[in-house]
Amino acid sequence: MYFRNKCVISPDMKKIKILLIAFLLLLVGVGAWLFAWPLSTLDTPVRIYVDADDNLDSVAQKTAAVQPRQMIGFRLTAMLRSLRGHVHPGCYEITPDISSWRLVTNVYHGQQTPVSVTVSPTWTKEMALSKVARQLMTDSASLAAEFNDRTRQRELGVDTATAATLLLCDTYEMYWTISPRAFMNRMARERDRYWSAARTAKAKALGMSREEVYTLASIVDAETANNGEKPTVAGLYLNRLRTGMLLQADPTVKFAIGDFGLRRIYGYMLTTPSPYNTYLHAGLPPGPIRVPQTASIDAVLNAEHHDYLYMCANSDFSGTHAFAATYSEHLRNAARYVRALNERGIK
């Protein structure tokens, strides 16, 4: 008769087995905590911005700063160290359900979240680019240098005077790390997209290039913030151009002087020497005096047909204008406005 030997597990072996299982479960739990457990406790997404000089520690600190969950810095630092600390600059979104692993791999591979960049109406392209730079990783000097580069201007069909026509006021999606060159190229594509066949045909019917339309729109934009009367203002200036009158647009004097905060234009200012001063020079200025709203560009393309040749700000300071077809009528409107300025002590 044969007897089979039975393996007897001692109490110590059972303890070791239990400890081993517990240790493995702990490892699984820690792994889940590090890799899969949601990183954020917030209900809405937040974003971190990783600069070119950031490292794994600063990325972890930035993440910990935008949401309250404890040990965030430790979790991300541990994860980033496992990838040897390699980070890509960019904007990265932390959603309520994002895991440590997903955020870290996004930063590691440079899988950015696009940002919304707004080009706003303002007086000069440098001012507009300065506002843009505050929304991107780049700086305003680098953007301005790109837009002022003669070779780049020729490549995109503009010159120093008309480079601002590449800037169309709108909000665009792009990466936070976009380079000045790529930004300028993007603006050129947006310009070409805006100038559809229909808009180009309207400009041609006016006998104007798209740069000339933009330039006139910049004057209209500076004259009034009231979109409803912009087609009327555009029609007035088109009437002046057709009849060979000087445009005599006060905003061009502000541009020539370089003081955009002027509230009142005096007679001695009208002789300011500048090719942009439309009190001295016939026709349109060499280029835009302002980065206008697209509503102002469309106002020129869809200008109102009328007989007005003169305009003056309304004496009620509503931001609208009193229009006139004759000079005598205009003088009466102007007298009312000057009287209102004096009564309010506006100089």
Q: What is the pLDDT of residue 50?
A: 85
78 within 8 A of 34, measured Cβ to Cβ: yes
Longest dimension (CA), the chain: 135
* Stretch 85-106: mean pLDDT: 75
3-state secondary structure of 281: coil
Residue 150 structure tokens: 């003669």
Helices (H), 157-281: 180-194, 197-205, 210-223, 230-243, 250-257
Question: What confidence tens digit (pLDDT) does each residue in 147-203 have?
Answer: 999 999 999 999 999 999 999 999 999 999 999 999 999 999 999 999 999 999 999
Q: What is the pLDDT of residues 322-332, one digit of tens each?
A: 999 999 999 99
Could you tell me the pLDDT band of residue 102, with boundaries at 50, 70 and 90?
confident
Asked if the model's pLDDT at residue 212 lies above 70, the reply is yes
pLDDT confidence band for 62 (50 / 70 / 90): confident
Other beta carbons within 10 Å of 65: 12
Mean pLDDT of 193-219: 97
Question: 163 and 146 in contact (C-beta within 8 Å)?
Answer: no
Please say whether the beta carbons of 45 and 20 come within 8 A: no
pLDDT tens-digit series, residues 265-317 = 888 999 999 999 999 999 999 999 999 999 999 999 999 999 999 998 888 88
Residue with the larger pLDDT of the pair 29 and 14: 14
Which residues are CB-neighbours of 106 under 8 A, at least 6 positions away?
A: 92, 112
* pLDDT on residue 14: 58
Rg of the chain over Cα atoms, rounded to whole angstroms, equals 32
Contacts of range 195-202, beta carbons closer than 8 Å, 24 or more positions apart: 199/298, 199/301, 202/301, 202/302
Amino acid 326: pLDDT: 93
pLDDT at residue 116 tops 70 = yes
pLDDT recorded at residue 82: 55
Structure tokens at 335: 């007298």
C-alpha pair distances (Å), 94 with each of 51, 290, 319: 17, 38, 44
Dig out the tokens for 156 from the structure: 């995109």
Q: Would you say 291 and 164 are in contact if contact means Cβ atoms under 8 Å apart?
A: yes
Q: What's the mean pLDDT when you consider all of the chain?
A: 84
Main-chain phi, psi angles of 151, to 5 degrees: -65, -45
Extract the tokens encoding 162: 């008309």
What are 219-237's pLDDT values in tens digits?
Answer: 999 999 999 999 999 999 9
